[in-house]
């Protein structure tokens, strides 16, 4: 049997069935009216932010990266818990506005911002994290044409990356941000233009589980911010230190020691140079906030044997859970945390493959895992489904359509 990833803490069983915030999986499916279904836990979201507040320095703001999970009720719930939101498109700007979030608490990063997106952001007071000199010119021209003052920061492409990260966002040639050596000149131009100077966004990588790697990257980020601020000739009003905190998906993964990260960062922030003494700092987290707070429920519709192997065929699959299928940048496929939700806690009695309903061999949710005997009608749970699930998967592939979503 191949091992399964670790089920996150906070989930329980009621009458032998998975429960989320005291609600049995079957009850949640009945409430939603169908499977597949993404369920997000209000309590787990709240607890994650509380744990971060306790571990991080008091002066550090916590931002939520909307790309991880833009479901409206999740955004509305987090609005009362976090200090800001980071978006990556005009569509996400519309989502945060629909959730009642003040656009002045929002920053907008991402290459290829179109003029209409820039104008929408400028008109609403969103901070633009500029990805190039050309984008800066377009933003300033829009400000001049509309008579509005753009709020502008620079996304820096650092020479370093986050060691051990699942996705490297810095180090070498990148489509993201402006190479560090060109940043001071652009910063001086922005300040001279009369735009509102908002500072730097320095994001080196994501999905790291090593506290030591995160601590080292944050130290390098602070040193780079100080160097660039001094070269720019002006104090730095704000600095987004990026994120990078990962969550355990696979067998053998262990959680990030956020207490160690927070302690080290607190020490660094207590020894800042003059150019950063008044700087407001934030971290930008998406997966770490929402990932473990979500579970994907699908129903087994068929049980079949092929060459001695058991296949449990569900009504879900990679069109909702691309990452769990191993097709979202994973080099070697490993099993996510997966369980038979309607038989949670029952001992494993067989080896089975759990697959989706799509006509492709890529549609796999668990390979040769150990499960209690299950068949048609049983519910399957895929954990760590709160981030990069519903909105990061090809829901319209083969005409399947999106899953239902529910915040409890």
Closest by CA to 217, choosing from 226, 228, 206, is: 206
What CATH number is attached to the domain comprising 116? 3.20.20.10
Same domain, yes or no, for 269 and 315? no
Residues 6 or more apart whose CB falls under 8 angstroms from that of 213 comprise 162, 163, 164, 165, 244
Q: pTM of the full predicted structure?
A: 0.95
Same domain, yes or no, for 84 and 178? yes
Same domain, yes or no, for 306 and 400? yes
pLDDT score recorded for residue 223: 93
Same domain, yes or no, for 253 and 306? no
Same domain, yes or no, for 125 and 256? yes
What CATH number is attached to the domain comprising 377? 2.40.37.10
Question: For residue 66, is pLDDT > 60?
Answer: yes
Q: From the centroid of its chain, how far is CA 9?
A: 19
Query: What is the C-alpha radius of gyration for the chain, rounded to an integer number of angstroms?
Result: 22
Q: Is residue 375 part of a domain?
A: yes
Q: 142-180 as b/e, with b when 16 or more CB fall inside 10 Å?
A: bbeeeeeebbbbbbbbbebbbbbbbebbbeeebebbbeb
Same domain, yes or no, for 124 and 238? yes
Question: For residue 166, is pLDDT > 60?
Answer: no
**Quick one: pLDDT band at residue 207, thresholds 50, 70, 90?**
confident
Same domain, yes or no, for 131 and 32? no
Q: Is residue 53 part of a domain?
A: no
Closest by CA to 120, choosing from 95, 83, 156, is: 95
DSSP single-letter state for residue 10: T
Number of domains the chain contains: 2
d(CA 50, CA 150): 33
pLDDT score recorded for residue 172: 62
Same domain, yes or no, for 272 and 308? no
Q: From the centroid of its chain, how far is CA 50?
A: 18
Instruction: Report residue 284 as tokens.
Output: 């930008």
Domain that residue 278 falls in: 70-285
Q: Is residue 228 part of a domain?
A: yes
Instruction: Report residue 95 as tokens.
Output: 């989502």
Domain closes at, from 262, 285, 308: 285
Same domain, yes or no, for 114 and 246? yes
Domain closes at, from 285, 314, 346: 285
Question: For residue 208, is pLDDT > 60?
Answer: yes
Q: Is residue 2 part of a domain?
A: no
Q: 237-276 as b/e, with b when 16 or more CB fall inside 10 Å?
A: ebbbbbbbbbbbbbeeeebbbbeebbbbbeebbeebeebb
What is the pLDDT of the chain when averaged over all its residues? 95
Instruction: Report residue 233 as tokens.
Output: 């000739």
Same domain, yes or no, for 279 and 351? no
**Quick one: pLDDT band at residue 329, thresholds 50, 70, 90?**
confident
Same domain, yes or no, for 120 and 214? yes
Pairing of strands 17-20, 23-24: antiparallel
């Amino acid at each position: 049997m191949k091992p399964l990833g670790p089920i996150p803490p906070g989930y329980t069983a009621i009458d032998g069935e998975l429960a989320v915030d005291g609600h049995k999986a079957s009850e949640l499916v009945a409430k939603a009216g169908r499977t597949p279904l993404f369920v997000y836990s209000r309590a787990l979201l709240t607890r994650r932010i509380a744990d971060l507040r306790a571990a991080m320095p008091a002066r550090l703001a916590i931002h939520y990266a909307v790309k991880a999970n833009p479901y409206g009720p999740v955004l509305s719930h987090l609005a009362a818990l976090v200090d800001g939101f980071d978006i990556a498109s005009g569509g996400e700007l519309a989502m945060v506005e629909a959730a009642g979030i003040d656009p002045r608490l929002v920053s907008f990063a991402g290459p290829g911002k179109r003029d209409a997106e820039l104008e929408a952001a400028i008109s609403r007071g969103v901070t633009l994290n500029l990805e190039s000199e050309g984008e800066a010119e377009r933003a300033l021209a829009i400000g001049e044409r509309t008579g509005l003052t753009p709020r502008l920061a620079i996304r820096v492409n650092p020479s370093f990356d986050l060691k051990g990260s699942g996705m490297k966002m810095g180090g070498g040639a990148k489509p993201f941000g402006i190479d560090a050596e060109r940043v001071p000149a652009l910063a001086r131009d922005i300040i001279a233009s009369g735009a509102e100077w908002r500072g730097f966004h320095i994001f080196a990588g994501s999905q790291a589980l090593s506290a030591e790697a995160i601590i080292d990257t944050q130290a390098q980020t602070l040193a780079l911010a100080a160097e660039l601020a001094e070269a720019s000739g002006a104090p730095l009003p704000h600095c987004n230190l990026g994120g990078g905190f990962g969550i355990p998906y696979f067998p053998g993964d262990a959680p990030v020691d956020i207490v160690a990260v927070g302690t080290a960062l607190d020490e660094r922030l207590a020894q800042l140079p003059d150019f950063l003494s008044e700087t407001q700092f934030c971290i930008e987290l998406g997966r770490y906030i929402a990932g473990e707070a979500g579970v994907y429920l699908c129903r087994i519709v068929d049980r079949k044997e092929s060459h001695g192997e058991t296949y449990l065929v569900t009504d879900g699959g990679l069109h909702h859970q691309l990452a769990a299928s191993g097709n979202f940048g994973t080099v070697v496929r490993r099993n996510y945390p997966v369980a038979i939700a309607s038989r949670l806690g029952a001992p494993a009695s067989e080896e089975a493959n759990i697959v989706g309903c799509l006509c492709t061999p890529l549609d796999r949710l668990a390979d040769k895992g150990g499960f209690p005997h299950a068949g048609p009608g049983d519910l399957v749970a895929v954990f760590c489904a709160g981030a990069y699930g519903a909105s990061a998967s090809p829901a319209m592939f083969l005409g399947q359509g999106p899953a239902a979503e529910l915040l409890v």
